Amino acid sequence: MRRCPRPISRPAHFYFYSQSKYGGRVLKTALKPQWLLALLAALALATGFVALSGWQFGSSETEPLVKADKTEVAVPLTEHHQVGTELLGTVADQIVTFSGEFVEGSDELVAPRLHDGVKGAWVVTEFKVDGAPKDAAIAVVRGWQPDSSAPSPAPEGELEITGRLLPSEGPELAHDVRSPALETLASSQLSNLWDTTLYEGFVTAHEIKTAEGAAAEQPGLSRVYVGPQPQEAQVNWLNVFYGIEWVVFAGFALFLWYRMVRDDYQRGMEEIAERAAEAHQNDPRDDDGPASS
C-alpha cells in the first residue's frame, strides 16, 4: 500500500505573498510602521524642497526698478539728480521741472532724428539751471525741425521747463566738422563744446513757459515728446534653474523611499523562497516500494 506524501508545511504569509498580486504585496510592505514613518519624512523633505522651488521661481522675476506711475509725477531736477553723478536707471525717465535761462548761441543740431516718421534734427540748447551747484547747465531738446538749417533763436529771459530726464547717448568716435549736426546726444561731448559743467543726461522739453506762465514761442520747431520707457520685468534664469533643481530633489526624496520599500519587499520574497526550498528538502516522504503486509 502506497502512502500519500505529506503536505509541505508553509507559513501562512507565504500563501498571501505567493497568491496576491505584485502591487498588493508591495503595498503590504509599504504599510509597515517603519516605512510609514519613512514616508512621512520623505513627504516632509519633498514639501520643503517644493517650497524652496517656489521661492526660487518667485525670485526669478524682478519688478521694474521704477514704476511708470511714479516717473510721471514731476519733481524738481535739483532734488532728483545731482551734478557730477551718474544717471542711474532709478533716476532716468523721470518727469522733472526746473527754471533758468537758455544760453544764447549754444544751439546744436542732432540728426538724423525721426518725428512722426519724418527725418529731421533735434535742436539742443544749453540751459543754465537755477539753484544748481557750480553754475551747472543741462542739455535741453527744445524741439524738432525737418532740416539742418539754423534753428529759430531760443526763448529769452527766465523760463520754467517741464520735460523727461533721459540718459546720455554715447559720444561720436569721430565727428565730421563739415557736418552741421551731431549724430548723438552725449552730455560729455556737449560739455566740451560749450565749455561748461553739465548734468549727466539731457531733458526733452515737453513744456516751456515764461515767468508769467505763458507758453514760450519757438517758430519752426515741433515739440519732442518722449513717453515713459517700457517697464519690463527681468527674468533671472539662474533662479529658474535652481527652482527646477529643487523640484528634482523633491521627486528624488519620494523615489528613494519607494526604492527602499521595494528592496525590503524583494528581500522578504527571497527569504520566503529560501524557507520554502528548505521546507521542501526537509519534508519526509516515502519512496516508491512494495507495500507492507
Instruction: List the grid coordinates of 12.
Output: 501562512
- The mean predicted confidence, pLDDT, of the chain is 83
Give 143-154 pLDDT, tens digit per residue: 999 998 889 999
Say if residue 50 is in the same domain as residue 165.
Answer: no
Q: What does the pLDDT look like over 29-50, one tens digit per residue?
A: 778 888 889 899 999 999 999 9
pLDDT at 176: 61
Region 136-159: mean pLDDT is 93
Name the nearest CA neighbour of 283 among 2, 1, 10, 45.
10
User: Do 77 and 54 fall into the same domain?
Assistant: no
Domain that holds residue 253: 28-61+245-274
Whether 133 and 250 share a structural domain: no
User: How do residues 191-243 score in pLDDT, each as one tens digit?
Assistant: 999 999 999 999 999 999 998 889 898 999 999 998 887 666 677 888 888 88
251 and 132 assigned to the same domain: no
Would the pLDDT of 20 be above 60?
no
Same domain, yes or no, for 100 and 230?
A: yes
Instruction: Provide the pLDDT for residue 252.
Output: 92
State the average pLDDT over residues 43-63. Answer: 85
> Does residue 195 share a domain with residue 81?
yes
Cell of 69: 506711475
Residue 269 domain-assigned (yes or no): yes
- Decide which of 3 and 82 is more confident: 82
Asked, for residue 43, whether it belongs to a domain, the answer is: yes
Q: Are residues 75 and 39 in the same domain?
A: no
Total structural domains in the chain? 2
Comparing 234 with 7, which gets the higher pLDDT? 234
